[in-house]
Chains A and B, each alone.
Chain A
Amino acid sequence: MSGAAPTAAPRGESRSRLALTSDRGIALLLSAVMAGLMLVFLVLPVGAILLRSLDTPAGAGLGNFALTFADPRFWDLLVNSLSVSLLSSTLAVGLAYLYAYALQRSNVPLKPLLRIVVMMPLFAPSLVQAQGLLLLLGRNGAFNRFLGFDFDIYGFWGVALANTLYTFPYAFLILSAALAVADARVYESATMLGARPGRIFRTVTLPATRYGIAAAVFVTFSLSVTDFGNAIVIGGNFSVLATEIYNKVIGQGQFALGAVIGVVLLAPAVISKLLEKRISSRQQAQMTDKSVPLTTRANRMRDLLLGGYCLAIMIVFLAIPGIVATASFVKLWPYNMAFSFTHYAFDVQNGTEPLWNSVYVALATAGLGVTIATVSAIVVQKFKTPLSGPLSFLAILPSSIPGMVLGLGYVLAFNNPANPLNLMYGSLALIIFLYVYYNHAQAFLITSTSLKQISSSFDEASTMLGGGVLRTFFKVTLPLLWPTLLGVGVFFFMRAMVSLSAVIFLITPETQVAAVSVLQLADRGAVNQAAAFSMCIMAIVIACLLIVRMVLWLAGAKSVTLIR
């Protein structure tokens, strides 16, 4: 025994050193793979479109930027974009925080229902969301027509409202992940020290969710700034930078000037990258090895107030799909309200086939998306490699790129005989990668928010016990993280079912997806058929959620929620 002891130590040491070097190897390898994928499916397409911004009749140069910045209209649009996005982002994050708080920290009833209802804006193509808002609040919408009001939704306030509704679910997903875990000991000591609930919220809850709030502000702001669907339908004469890109690229085929505005829109990503260090350095992990999960105490008054709030929000989020559904089931909204199935005939190209294409694409996007977003988040948050910095920037970059611009970038990059991946052009595989990277920022931020709650002391303990990076991930991180990942998968699935602007340049006659059918129908004036088609998309999304729910139930994970 005494003879064995001296040799054991060096051997153990060398083993852990070996584990350390192989860990380092795995970390570097994974980082490199993630960086490689981002290079091909993000940097290349974005670079291709940005190169266009330098394309002037006189050769490469900054002429287009000079031209754009010299135009007073550009500055007006910039102010419009900033003001409407700031307002809607503030509203969305504020409202979603309270909503997520109610779901995570109180005993309001019907939580599963409350969770799914606010996801509604993600279930249907944005085209239909805007249409629903007009059916409800337009000049001849239900409110004005049937209740005798007379107000005009078109303009600044309409766009702000539409964008608030549209970005709310994104804010909710992130904030819900941020509020999901908390250490009961901190709350107990705060209470023992005599802090009142308001003070506890300000000094404990709020700081603990700092990263989540920052992420939610960034995501909602970028989404508002880059969205042109709502602004085009509801803005009226109120234009923003994103609609100006549409004007330049779709209206006039002026890629170069459109690309200049595309570059300007990247600013939020750059700014948030600069601010990120300051925000995360103050963020502390919630779940350490000593943590005690917070359980919600009974409090009738709080539940009543928060329950009322949730109900009000729920009504708003139900009203829009509700009115679209109604319009799809009557002969001719709002003139002939007789019940009818005629809009469900779908005499559009390929009929309902694109629906099944979309299900396939959405499932593949969910699988691939979760894998890529999770590995990126772990690589950035947990491994410190030289690639972490650039990766964390690229990971959130997509949220600053309008779908239309990214889609065009894919055409420019992949429909190029010089690109060895040219073979992918025209395939569903490329559409899947486009969906994954188009939605990468939100998925990455949701996963990162969850990861930040898990203390690195777990990793340290696991490493000390001889577990390598992979072992730690599968034995420690994944069991804590997987409910979030499930939610991220559902998120990717929903986005891939309905996103339109990004894929419009990639679809071929063989690879038609459901959202495009909605556009075809709306374009040819069959708006009610478009609504009916959207209802089918929503039904499929909800059916898929139920199936996953059931599988979870059968697998014994009864308390796990799909949407956190």
Chain B
Amino acid sequence: MDSKLCITALAALLLSVPAAADEITVYTSYEEDEAARFLELAKQDMPDLEVNMLRLSTGELAARIIAEKANPQHDVIWGFAASTIVTPQIEETLEAYRPKGIDAVPAEFRDADDKWFAVTGYMAAFCVNDERLEKLGLEKPTSWKDLLDPKYKGEIVMPNPASSGTGYIQVSSLLQMMGEDEGWAFLEKLDENIAQYIKSGSKPCHAASAGEFAVGASYDMRAIKNIEEGYPISMVIPAEGSGNELEANALVATSKNKDAAKRFLDWTVTKTAADAYLEWKAIVTIPGGNMPQRFLDAGLPADTNSVLHPTDFKAAAEDRKEIITTWQEKFER
């Protein structure tokens, strides 16, 4: 046993040899398949750059970044919810950087102090199980308002905004659209029909796909991917307009390989990257380029701006704590 211990200890030492100049560690919350594809392209463009990628969900990654603060292990944050990256505990680990070509990205998708920029994003969408609707004899809902109908009682699942970024953009967009008072009154009525508040943003869509519930409030790409998997669901973008979230990239201040990290960040706004985003993302903030047919087939409008509720990201981030506290008091059981 002792010799084995020695070997593992030795292995530990070897593993911790300082990274080469062209090696960086990237933390991402892009879904695993998207991230793998983007990374493959990045490696084609920069064969000499070794990118070590760790993929965790938004919440898990946030917890890890906060826990590792004493000695950050990563050089770049990539594709990470903008409303989470602005929490002070994380934002203060970042360093301002303006990648080459960033001017093409409209200012509303960037931090005023250049600490982060977002090239992709996602929007709220319902996953509606057609098989279950038919079985229950229900019509397909097309808006948030439709969901207030008592016939959907117990058939709707929604993410818990306290633990899910997707849940938060749904709630905050409704509050922004309707105003505080009317918005909370609406959520209270909606609450009567909600079967469960699920702690993740993708699970409501999975639950609807599995036929456990008729409607799962989730987000666009989750719906599109589950439709492509073959589940009998369709995607509904709520008629009132859809709340949306940006996925941000940023340079970590403690990076020991800033040049390599900057090269990678530069790459994320190149044409190659933008074309790849279009294949995987419904919201791409780099202009020029068309949405693939399969997204249109799934029910996305070609011009996503027409359905996006203009989200005030700064406000959404600032009000976050207050909104979540109120939401928990009212609805969390």
Residues of chain A having any CB pair with chain B under 8 Å:
73, 76, 134, 138-140, 145, 154, 232, 236-239, 243, 246-247, 249-253, 255, 331-332, 334-336, 347-349, 364, 367-368, 371, 408, 411-412, 415-417, 422-430, 432, 504-505, 507-510, 520-521, 523-527
Contact A253 B87 (CB under 8 A): yes
The answer to whether A251 and B160 have CB atoms under 8 Å apart is: yes
Q: Which residues of A contact B143 (CB under 8 A)?
A: none
CB<8 Å pairs between A and B, sample of 23:
A73-B332, A134-B212, A237-B195, A237-B196, A239-B333, A243-B199, A253-B90, A332-B229, A332-B231, A335-B232, A349-B36, A368-B4, A415-B71, A427-B15, A428-B11, A505-B64, A505-B67, A510-B15, A523-B31, A523-B57, A524-B225, A525-B222, A526-B229
Given A411-B64, A415-B67, A524-B32: A429 and B213 within 8 A (CB)?
no
Measured between alpha carbons, how far is A505 from B293 in the docked complex, in Å? 38
- A510–B211 Cα gap in the complex (Å)? 37
Contact among A236, A332, A520 for B195, CB-based, below 8 A = A236
> Do residues B11 and A237 form an inter-chain contact, with CB atoms below 8 A?
no
- Given A134-B212, A415-B68, A427-B8, A371 contacting B202 (CB threshold 8 A): no
A139 contact set on B, CB distance < 8 A = 211-213
- CB pair B231–A335 under 8 Å, yes or no, is yes
Q: How far is the CA of A526 from the CA of B225 in the complex (A)?
A: 9
**Contact yes or no, B12 A427, CB < 8 A:** yes
* CB-based closest 4 A-B pairs: A251-B163, A140-B211, A427-B12, A250-B59
Q: How many residues of B contact A (CB 8 A)?
A: 64
Would you give the 0/1 interface string for B1-40, flagging 1 where the beta carbon is closer than 8 Å to chain A? 1001100110111011000000001000001110010000
Contact B211 A430 (CB under 8 A): no
Q: Is the CB of B15 within 8 A of A525?
A: no
Residues of chain A contacted by B205 (CB below 8 angstroms)? 525
Question: Which of B5, B33, B163, B324 interacts with A250 by CB under 8 Å?
Answer: B163
Does B272 interact with chain A (Cβ within 8 Å)?
no
Query: Which residues in A have their C-beta under 8 angstroms from that of B195?
Result: 154, 236-237
Alpha-carbon separation in the docked complex, A525 to B208 (Å): 12
Contacts of B212 in A (CB 8 A): 134, 138-140
Q: Knowing A139-B212, A140-B211 touch, does A237 contact B333 (C-beta < 8 A)?
A: yes
A521 — which chain B residues lie within 8 A by C-beta? 32
Known: A140-B211, A251-B163, A510-B52. A523 touches B333 (CB 8 A): no
Q: How far is the CB of A241 from chain B (nearest CB, A)?
A: 14
Residue from B32, B132, B202 within 8 A of A349 (CB atoms) = B32
Q: A364's contact among B4, B52, B196, by CB below 8 Å, is which?
A: B4
- Contact A426 B55, beta carbon cutoff 8 Å: no
Q: Which residues of A contact B33 (CB under 8 A)?
A: 347, 524
A520 engages B211 (CB within 8 Å): no
- Most A CB within 10 A of own CB, among B53, B196, B226: B196
Contact pick for B12, options A253, A331, A429, A523, CB 8 Å = A429
- Residue B96 is within 8 A (CB to CB) of chain A in the complex: no
Determine the chain A residues whose CB is within 8 A of the CB of B202 once the complex forms.
523, 525
Q: How far is the CB of B114 from chain A (nearest CB, A)?
A: 23
Min CB distance, B7 to chain A, in Å?
A: 9
